[in-house]
Structure 1
Amino acid sequence: MSENIHPQAPHHLPHWFASADGGDGLFTIMVFFVLGLILLLGVAYFTLHALPERMAHKSNSAQLQLISILCMLALFTHNNLFWVGALVLAAFRPPDLAGPLNSMAQSLQNLVSRER
């Protein structure tokens, strides 16, 4: 094979150089690497995006539908404010404002029924 090489051509080329037949091993490796990286980044993005929904499922949140809607809005509009809102709703329980009011109403109802 050495008699086919041009006399002015370098006699030692690194192994990552493209061969004369057009095959390029480094390019093939980089294509698979980039495709794998794109796939992994997509999986990581969707995993992070579903974080508020998973948090709401684990805690049996009452606002699960609202959190899911906010996550979908954030996914399709690329507006991060919806995702942050869903994360805040999933992470913190809203204060129970109706419970004390119901208790006061029940106490007043009991007082009224005693007086009669």
Structure 2
Amino acid sequence: MSTTGAEVHAAATDHLPFFLPGPDGSDGLMTFTIWFMVLAVFGVGILYLKLHALPEHMASSTKKLQMDIVAVLALLALFTHQNIFWVAALILAMIDFPDFGTPLKSMAGSLEKLAGRLPEPAPPALPDPQPAPQPQQAEG
């Protein structure tokens, strides 16, 4: 009449339900429930954060110009729980804006050549505050 290796009380039935703790005090159902809940909370949290980062991943993988706006909208959606920010970030990440700057610069340069004017010089670049370290050559 011993089912778990320990003697069962004489008043007990032959079949005990699985959810009752054993004679040694171990509660398998409670242990399973604790582990299940911990893993479920972490799993849902990771899924939630991955879903919120989806617009940023979409925009950064294609090197879009509006990446900063998408990132700010995704963060706003995360902290304010306003889903419209996340939807706007997702739509903005999917849109491919045309490059108007390059043709306009080309047209401006061509018009300056036709007019006989020299293009304005670019402003001088600021020097680096710390020069890059020079690689050391092996002596030999």
Q: TM-score, normalised by structure 1?
A: 0.77
1:113 is aligned to 115
Which of the residues 76, 90, 93 maps onto 2:93?
A: 90
Query: Which string of whole-angstrom CA distances, capped at 9 and with x for unpartnered residues, describes residues 26-49 of structure 1?
Result: 110111011101111111111111
Which protein has the bigger helix share?
1
Aligned partners of 2:53, 2:69: CA distance in 1, in Å?
14
Percentage of pairs with the same residue: 37
Q: Structure 1: any 5+ residue segments left out of the alignment?
A: none
Q: What is the SS of the residue equivalent to 1:19?
A: coil
Q: Which residue of 2 aligns with 1:35?
A: 38
TM-score by length of 2: 0.65
Structure with greater contact order relative to length (CA < 8 Å, sep ≥ 6): 1
User: What pairs up with 1:52-71 in 2 under 5 angstroms?
Assistant: 52-71=55-74
Measured against aligned partners, the alpha-carbon deviations of 1:29-82 in whole angstroms (never above 9, x if no partner) come to 111011101111111111111000011111101011111100110000000000
Gaps of 5+ in 2: 1-6, 117-140
Name whichever of 18-27 and 34-43 sits farther off. 18-27
Task: Output the CA distance in 2 between the equivalents of 1:87 and 1:17.
Answer: 50
- Give the CA deviation at 1:93: 1.5
